[in-house]
Amino acid sequence: MPLLIGPLAHPLMRARLAPQAVMSQPMQGSLIGGGLAGIAPDGWPRLGAGRENLPLWQTDWTPALRRYAAIFGVAPQIHQGREVLGLGEPASNAPEWRPELAAALADWLLGLPHTRPADAIRKRLPMIASWVASRQRAAAETLDLPHIGPNAAERIRIDSIEEPYAEYFSVEAIRLSQHRNDGSWSDPLARAVFVSGDATVVLPWDPVRDRVMLIDQLRAGPLARGDAQPWLYETVAGRVDAGETPEQAARREAVEETGITVSHLFPAPHNYPSPGAIAEYLYLYVGIADLPDDSAGLGGLETEDEDIRSHLVSRAELTRMALAGEIRNGPLLNLALWLELRHREIRCNLGLESKIAPSGLPPSGGGV
């Protein structure tokens, strides 16, 4: 019988994996790392020396616990003569464990077909965790938004959700009925949704030199469409990993793709770029950065096969390109026009201007 330790001993995790577990005599020591336990395969803490009394819960191997352990590749370890489950190597450097996310991910994983091999699921854990985190953000961020009619629970009946394609990204096939505006219920509808998780988008802007940094890289979407120019001017962008915020992702992506550091982030309107078929939600920011003449160059992560080139463009030229239809990347177009409307307000917020001419627009969010 294994003894659950650390994150696996948390009430939210025990309730899903081993509800019949009973408390055992604690173990003395300390847990190091573990910020991504139950979120990433290598996120489990390791046991170190210490005087803490670490709670342990004894359990049988339930089907849920066995399946979960197989997916994460976590196995019992012998410490102080006792078999404990919930430890690993290397320890994660993530600062804070998120039990609600780990519990929601456990629910998602245990709901996948049992015919799907555990090792195949493990390879997709980063993207699955990102998708589950996206769903949590969506639920939290839309609680106070005004409803267009009744809420979703009253207007939609979900009959089934399947995943006919599951690689780095996935496709969900949803069968549903909806309560129509005339008061009737529709016949069952089939809808396919491309699932990629949330993304962060940041346009680096140097307000002193009044220039921005754009990047270009090969894009599969324009290539598949037959575009003669599948390299597009665009912003820094990337997926919001599970366990990080959109702002943290924006700063991380700026370093990875261009090598620059963003000091402040000013949020532009976040949005769904194509809600009819794509579940992606974009967090848009203008990022304040120092952009001297030699800051442009080559970037991207070799581990992700990125081949990125960056360019310095004056803000005035960016606006001209946007109005002339030369920008075909939607997030960049949005940010270019938003920056044109907001640049003086942002400068004032940064202490670079003392007075703003009235724009008739609602104030933008403050920088972070």
> Does the bond joining 90 to the residue before it have cis omega, within 30 degrees of 0?
yes
How many separate domains does the chain show? 3
Residue 308, in any domain of the structure: yes
Q: What is the pLDDT of residue 146?
A: 75
Question: Considering the domain boundaries, does residue 117 fall inside one?
Answer: no
* 192/178 Cα distance (integer angstroms): 15
pLDDT digits (tens, 9 = 90+) for 323-346: 999 999 999 999 999 999 999 999
Cβ atoms of residues 335 and 265 within 8 Å: no
Whether 217 maps to a domain, the answer reads yes
Which two three-digit tokens encode residue 45? 């803490």
* One domain for residues 259 and 162: no
Residue 361 falls within a domain, yes or no? no
Tokens of 55: 């709670």
Which of 162, 234, 304, 317 is labelled catalytic?
Answer: 304
Amino acid at 48: G
For the question of residue 304 being annotated catalytic, the response is yes
**Can you give the pLDDT at residue 297?**
81
Considering the domain architecture, whether residues 342 and 214 belong to the same structural domain is answered as: yes
Distances (CA, A) of 362 to 264, 268, 269, 319: 20, 12, 12, 21
In a domain, 104, yes or no: no
Q: Are residues 75 and 91 in the same domain?
A: yes
**Residue 222: which H helix or E strand, with range?**
helix 220-225
The H or E element that residue 24 is part of is: strand 22-32
User: Which residues of the chain fall below pLDDT 50?
Assistant: 357
**12 plus 35 within the same structural domain:** yes
Residue 365 counted as domain residue: no
Q: Do 210 and 168 belong together in one domain?
A: no
Domain span including residue 344 = 199-349
- Do residue 180 and residue 306 come from a single domain? no
pTM over 0.75: yes
**CATH number of the domain enclosing 340:** 3.90.79.10
Same structural domain, 204 and 187: no
189 and 219 share one domain: no
164 and 259 share one domain: no
Give the span between the Cα atoms of 313 and 351, in whole angstroms. 23
Separation CA 142–CA 50 (nearest Å): 43
207, 341: one domain: yes
Tokens of 367: 């920088």
